[in-house]
Structure 1
Amino acid sequence: MKEPLQNINEQISQPFKENPSILHQFPTVAAGIDSLLRFDLLPRLRNDVQVRYEGSIDKQGFNADWDWWLYKEGREWVIFDVDGPGCIYNLVQHRYPDSEEPTFFFYFDGETEPRFQIRHSEFGQKAPFTAPLADQYMGPNDNGRGPIRVVRSFVPMPFARSCRITTDIRLKGAAKGDGGWGHVMYHTYADAQGVETFTGTENWSELLHQWNDVGNDPKPQTESETVSLAQLHLPAGQAIMLLEQTGSGNIVSIKARWHDDPAMDIPRSLLHDIWIVAHWDDHQQPDVECPLGAFFGNELGYNRIGILSHGQREDGQWYQYFPMPYWNGAHIRLHNRGTEDVDFAQWEIRYTTANKHLYPQHDTGYFRTSAYYPLQARHGQDSIIGQISGRGHLVAGQVTAFARTVGIISCEGDVRVYIDGNATPQVESDGSESWVNYGWGFPTPPEMNPATAYDGLPDNPWSMVRLCSGDCYPFRQQLIFGIESGEYNNQYLRHSGILFYYGQDGEGMTLTDELDVGNPASESIHEYHTAGSRGYYALESSYEGDADDVLITDKGHETEGWSQFVVSISPDNAGVRLRRRSDQITGRQRAIVYVDDQQVKERSWYVADRNPYKRWLEDEFEIPVTYTADKEQLTIRLEYVQEGETRVWNEFYYWIYSLK
């Protein structure tokens, strides 16, 4: 835990306390193109934003990740279905080129005709899904298993009311000629303010220029000063100060060069033994504490790789472009934790005091790293690469893996991210390589695109890095990032890694009430009653994810009418989050939500997916502050709406969080 925020800059924070409308005078991050283009706004906290995943995870918890559909409607197979405002930021799908080719259809805001469609082979070519925002990767033949084509897109696709993605064929099967692996990463918003639904005709030129310029600073140019250290000598076991500043400012970039000859092989010990350590605003604990290799995006160092935010240029220069604001001072030093002296050709740090208005302190996160996860194996459990507390959003991750022998396929482990104590992963991946938008393992290093890259030897070892700029992972209390070892934690793998994030120490929400459905005392306290009841039932099952072997028994209720209850909240809330434990044996559960007899018009409570094996699900509903401001309690009514296979709305437990 970092030191508490201190010495708030009254010149910035006081006007906000007196006049909240002044927020509109400051630039913010909207859904869509600007969320990627305005790299300088990454430190701004994402209020009222949540990250979500939909994809082809094996519902039984093993490695059969190849089937991807939710339900069939007419002649099309639905693979994504979300109600309420949001934005798609990442789409990936794996397919054998000689198999039947799917066409993807995109429906927005309740449309009955698709607004946009694209064939699998058109990714990277059909506007606006053009390279490098969208592209293709062709995996190798791999002794007859391949080749396989992986299409990926980082084209932001916002929607004000709803979105569905369908295909004209079913994405299924692992046999040669089939293949349905894939996922969608997206954000949901509490309301649609500032959201303009995707048309496909937006002006993409500036964003394409930015993404075609990897290695150069993606942020707008600003006045800055430069601290440059040439021929830096760093003795073993010692540290040297790179930058020491007082007052407010922002680190624009950090660059380094180990040797003037870019063809020189970088000693791997240098990537592990030299650490960069940064303290912002006199915090006692480091905000950044990271080995050099991970700080510049490559722990292994076999080959040069680079993405928009950090990496190594062709001329050998390392670069780090994440903005790093501070308000009272900055201290950055290098520490040699090895046993040999190290010499660097050059270090350069650029900083500025010219853009203070971008970063109001109460609404901006410090650039931080999670505690470095040293190379180790965990048996039968996910490797927990990072665990973060407080409030903020994840913007990048680095994961490295070693198997026992060279050449073994070690990519099958799923990435799983748990946010704010939710027992259901909010982000998953059908294999490690899918998280970085490749496929069929890590057989062809080095590979890179502006948002993701990997290095290593074919399949083992490997090191992957992913930038989450548009699709950052917001959290209000906690974020846990884990990865499986093999298909279902059945391999011996040693993982290492680190997370980059923007954060503050204080939590962004507080648990203010709980309703245990099926418990008479709890129901009585919360004035729980219902119409159209189908009765109570007990369920023993597990959640998806790392703890899918842990059985939990609970008693709940189901209704084909409505349920109603009263909950307590904080009167100074900035909105309310409802979390429900439910039985996801059937998909397409939907309810209309009323708060004090007023319908929440931004969305219905809707979950399109299902899992008849790992049946417990914790799903959430965000109530905007317009329905909750200055109230100490709410009367919640949930009216069931029949969709598809569902016949009831079920509920076992509710957690009520007041947002700050």
Structure 2
Amino acid sequence: MKRLVFIALYIAGFFGNVQGQSNNNNITSVFLSRLPIVPDGTLWCGQFSSHSPNQQNGDVNHFLYRDAQDDAVIFDVRAPGCIKSMWATALDSSAVLKFYFDDENSPRYTIRAIDFYQGRLPGFSRPLVAYQRRGYYIRDSYAGNSFAPIFFQRSLRISVKGNPSFYHILYEKYPYGTKIDPAKTQEQHDFVLAAFGNQKTSVAKYPAQQIQSKLLPRQEINLFRQPGSGSIRSIEIETDTSAAFLKDVFIGMIWDEATQKDDKAPRLAFEATNNSRQYQVLAPIGMFFATPDYVLPVQSLPLSVERSGKDRLKLTCRFVMPYWRNARIILQNRSERSFSNIQSKIVYDATPYPENKTGYFTTFYRKGITEYGKDWLFFASPGTGWYVGTVQTCRLEHYCEGNEHFYMDGNRTPQINGTGTEDYYLGCFWPSKTYHSPFAGSVNDVRRLSGGDTSRFLTIFKEDYLFPAAYYRFHLEMPLPFYNAIDAKIQHGAEDNIASEYSSLAYAYLKSTPSLSETDFIDVGNASSRAFHGYHCSDMATPVSLLARYEGDNVYTTIQDEGLSHKGGRIRFTISIDPDNAEVRLRRRMDQAIARQEADVYIDGVFAGTWYDPQCNPVLRWYDSEFLLPSHLTKQKKQLAVELRVHGMAAPFSDFEYRAFCYKRFK
């Protein structure tokens, strides 16, 4: 599928000139070193996109609603937050982006969408924005990307005058009253700029283990073995240029090695075992370094592949990997051939991370044929952590229409719901050209590999499907937080309806202990549940019964539920929570057939923000909406009196169930 148009803007005064490099040459090292620390519960991430309401192909020109100017609204959040990245394609040359900050009646910024991505808005200059040809299918196969952070204190609405086309926008949202710190906004800006300007990190001050070895058939060798606590800061491996080395040699990483029977062993979601060892990482080395099939360059922030002299290949990993009792990194030769002159240098820091609030660097590797009616699984696990990246290969049949579906913390609605496989990797209009950036890239140009005519448009050659496309996406401009569980998937084809050969490697930082737990549940359609929770509402509520489906992987599952539709008035109920909470969030099952449902939230009589859902889907109507409560209203309390004051002039506010979740920080 293809993409859309958007505009990202800085709040005036937050940033200076973005030209040139960051003053802090080590800022990328600082950001990468923070990733192992598990996320704070005050952070929530989401995505708006032009995905089709019926979850079939045609993810174009869909939007949230039309505003008073009859413009298509593509982003609308009424809480403090930040847009971290924007992507669009098939831009209408006459489409105009409008940015409204903090309930402004007039747009603070107005610019043609194509001009925005071409860096013509002051404060949005290259390399933070780009407009590049990344596909072959149509003549104008250009993708627009912006990584310029756009912070807002109370609200932000983005509309398009004209066709919105294909788009997706990744953003963070914070509880009401969160103060946007100018120093933090500058830091985020500097990090993104430094990522484009210099993808190397500073590790010169740390010790290293180096080896030079030969890898015999079916042999396993140690690259690194270290007792005690510390963290890996970088991995460099040099070898002869060989596609067989990339495919047949696996890299394994074992943190705090213990037998399976040892109760102190880390219990991670995916355990690849060999001689009773647990591997947090075990994958083909080419897959791990994002060049799975061919000896081709990679230029991303955490991983790079480059030639090193004649007939030599240098692989570099910059992910930080903590451990507390011991660490081990190995190579396994799974072939019958030998590989000679392997050199490695692994840099480590003996300073320990705080184990109680740090996750293990973890990957999950899969390879196989896709299954009809089911999304392809990238990664699924209970626990707390960050999802930080994906490498994927695809071959056979028309796989590229598949949308990504990422679920966090048991929510039945995907918080990340995209518009197509090549779109997820920030490209467009498959077959994809080769491109690289700190955060996303396409490694294999299947049109060139197949020998097809690169000047032909609106044409797909059957040979294009025979060579594996290879992509990477590293969510380092906005790592995706989860607190209870994560389930990250992607479709194959528009409706999970093709048989393709896939392989994937997911990257995460994972602490296996969840930090978010459900403490209460209200079934609005059940009289006993309403009575138990003191649920009362005005006479402006109407009972409703709905038979509907959720978006995402469970699109074929129909659920019937009873609830209420409120045309105004007030809703009151009490919920039980853990008094040791650091944050509470509410989750509400709603009918999203009508856009812009809105209610002011009061906790024990104190205003806590506005619960607002701008989206509309009259086809797949179930939606789980989440609301973050300010921590000062929930700490040290066992129960909360919740009052929702429905905006009478807005759309009817629907509720079918409520769930309360408490986040507890690791101590």
Specify the TM-score bucket, using the shorter chain as the normaliser: 0.7 to 0.9
Moved more, 360-369 or 574-583: 360-369
Aligned counterpart in structure 1 of residue 72 of structure 2, from 68, 73, 77: 77
- Match for residue 61 of structure 2? 67
In the alignment, the residues of structure 2 paired with residue 153 and residue 313 of structure 1 have an alpha-carbon distance, to the nearest angstrom, of 26
- Match for residue 245 of structure 1? 226
Shift of 1:652: 0.4
- Match for residue 470 of structure 1? 477
CA shift digits 1:387-408 (9 cap, x unpaired): 122110101111211115xxxx
8 Å contact from structure 1 (residues 52, 187) kept in 2: yes
- Match for residue 176 of structure 1? none
Aligned counterpart in structure 1 of residue 510 of structure 2, from 498, 503, 510: 503
In the alignment, the residues of structure 2 paired with residue 547 and residue 489 of structure 1 have an alpha-carbon distance, to the nearest angstrom, of 11
Where structure 2 has 5 or more consecutive residues not aligned to the other structure, the ranges are: 1-25, 259-264, 266-277, 448-463
Shift of 1:525: 1.0
CA shift digits 1:496-529 (9 cap, x unpaired): 1121111111111111111111111111111111
Counterpart of 1:434 in 2: which secondary structure?
helix
In the alignment, the residues of structure 2 paired with residue 133 and residue 49 of structure 1 have an alpha-carbon distance, to the nearest angstrom, of 23
TM value normalised by structure 1: 0.85
- Match for residue 287 of structure 1? 280
Superposed, 1:414-493 pairs within 5 Å as 414-444=403-433, 446-456=434-444, 457-458=446-447, 460=465, 461-493=468-500
Superposed, 1:74-113 pairs within 5 Å as 74-75=68-69, 76-96=71-91, 99-113=92-106
In the alignment, the residues of structure 2 paired with residue 280 and residue 310 of structure 1 have an alpha-carbon distance, to the nearest angstrom, of 20
In the alignment, the residues of structure 1 paired with residue 96 and residue 28 of structure 2 have an alpha-carbon distance, to the nearest angstrom, of 27
CA gap 1:202/1:501 in 2 versus in 1, 3 angstroms: closer
- Match for residue 20 of structure 1? none
In the alignment, the residues of structure 2 paired with residue 362 and residue 128 of structure 1 have an alpha-carbon distance, to the nearest angstrom, of 40
- Match for residue 133 of structure 2? 138
- Match for residue 633 of structure 1? 639
Shift of 1:271: 2.2
- Identity of counterpart residues, as a percentage? 29
In the alignment, the residues of structure 1 paired with residue 440 and residue 135 of structure 2 have an alpha-carbon distance, to the nearest angstrom, of 19
Superposed, 1:564-603 pairs within 5 Å as 564-600=572-608, 603=609
Counterpart of 1:187 in 2: which secondary structure?
strand
- Match for residue 273 of structure 2? none
Shift of 1:419: 1.0
8 Å contact from structure 1 (residues 589, 643) kept in 2: no
8 Å contact from structure 2 (residues 151, 185) kept in 1: no
Shift of 1:181: 0.5
CA shift digits 1:578-628 (9 cap, x unpaired): 11111001011111111111111xx31111001000000011111132111
Shift of 1:314: 4.5
CA shift digits 1:439-483 (9 cap, x unpaired): 001332x22112101122135321211111121111111111111
- Opposite residue 431 of structure 1, the aligned amino acid is G
Shift of 1:424: 0.6
8 Å contact from structure 2 (residues 135, 142) kept in 1: no
Shift of 1:532: 3.6
CA gap 1:314/1:187 in 2 versus in 1, 3 angstroms: farther
Aligned counterpart in structure 2 of residue 342 of structure 1, from 319, 339, 343: 339
CA gap 1:388/1:273 in 2 versus in 1, 3 angstroms: farther
Is 2:199 aligned against 1:224? Answer: no
In the alignment, the residues of structure 1 paired with residue 253 and residue 184 of structure 2 have an alpha-carbon distance, to the nearest angstrom, of 43
Superposed, 1:188-227 pairs within 5 Å as 188-190=173-175, 193=178, 195-196=180-181, 207-214=192-199, 216-217=200-201, 220-221=202-203, 223-227=205-209
Aligned counterpart in structure 2 of residue 540 of structure 1, from 543, 547, 554: 547
8 Å contact from structure 2 (residues 135, 431) kept in 1: no
In the alignment, the residues of structure 2 paired with residue 200 and residue 319 of structure 1 have an alpha-carbon distance, to the nearest angstrom, of 29
Matched residues, number? 593
- Opposite residue 126 of structure 2, the aligned amino acid is A
- Opposite residue 411 of structure 2, the aligned amino acid is N
Is 2:348 aligned against 1:351? Answer: yes
Shift of 1:146: 2.7
Runs of 4+ with >6 A deviation = 33-37, 197-203
CA gap 1:468/1:378 in 2 versus in 1, 3 angstroms: same
In the alignment, the residues of structure 1 paired with residue 479 and residue 341 of structure 2 have an alpha-carbon distance, to the nearest angstrom, of 33
- Opposite residue 49 of structure 1, the aligned amino acid is L
Counterpart of 1:39 in 2: which secondary structure?
helix
- Opposite residue 168 of structure 1, the aligned amino acid is K
Counterpart of 1:448 in 2: which secondary structure?
coil
In the alignment, the residues of structure 2 paired with residue 508 and residue 369 of structure 1 have an alpha-carbon distance, to the nearest angstrom, of 21
Shift of 1:204: 5.2
Shift of 1:344: 4.3
Is 2:600 aligned against 1:615? Answer: no
Is 2:373 aligned against 1:365? Answer: no
In the alignment, the residues of structure 2 paired with residue 199 and residue 420 of structure 1 have an alpha-carbon distance, to the nearest angstrom, of 26
8 Å contact from structure 2 (residues 439, 477) kept in 1: no
Shift of 1:313: 2.5
8 Å contact from structure 1 (residues 222, 352) kept in 2: no
Is 2:612 aligned against 1:606? Answer: yes
Shift of 1:272: 3.0
Shift of 1:432: 0.4
In the alignment, the residues of structure 1 paired with residue 188 and residue 386 of structure 2 have an alpha-carbon distance, to the nearest angstrom, of 27
In the alignment, the residues of structure 2 paired with residue 629 and residue 606 of structure 1 have an alpha-carbon distance, to the nearest angstrom, of 24
Shift of 1:125: 2.7
8 Å contact from structure 2 (residues 134, 435) kept in 1: no
In the alignment, the residues of structure 2 paired with residue 339 and residue 377 of structure 1 have an alpha-carbon distance, to the nearest angstrom, of 29
Shift of 1:163: 1.2
Counterpart of 2:632 in 1: which secondary structure?
helix
- Match for residue 12 of structure 1? none
8 Å contact from structure 2 (residues 135, 430) kept in 1: no
Moved more, 200-209 or 487-496: 200-209
Shift of 1:141: 5.8
Counterpart of 1:40 in 2: which secondary structure?
helix
Shift of 1:362: 2.5
Where structure 1 has 5 or more consecutive residues not aligned to the other structure, the ranges are: 1-32, 172-179
Shift of 1:191: 5.1
- Match for residue 327 of structure 1? 324
- Opposite residue 492 of structure 1, the aligned amino acid is A
Shift of 1:128: 3.4
Counterpart of 1:325 in 2: which secondary structure?
strand
In the alignment, the residues of structure 2 paired with residue 102 and residue 110 of structure 1 have an alpha-carbon distance, to the nearest angstrom, of 23
Moved more, 489-498 or 391-400: 489-498
CA gap 1:627/1:486 in 2 versus in 1, 3 angstroms: same
8 Å contact from structure 2 (residues 370, 498) kept in 1: no
Is 2:262 aligned against 1:277? Answer: no
Aligned counterpart in structure 1 of residue 112 of structure 2, from 107, 119, 131: 119
Aligned counterpart in structure 2 of residue 43 of structure 1, from 25, 31, 36: 36
Shift of 1:207: 4.3
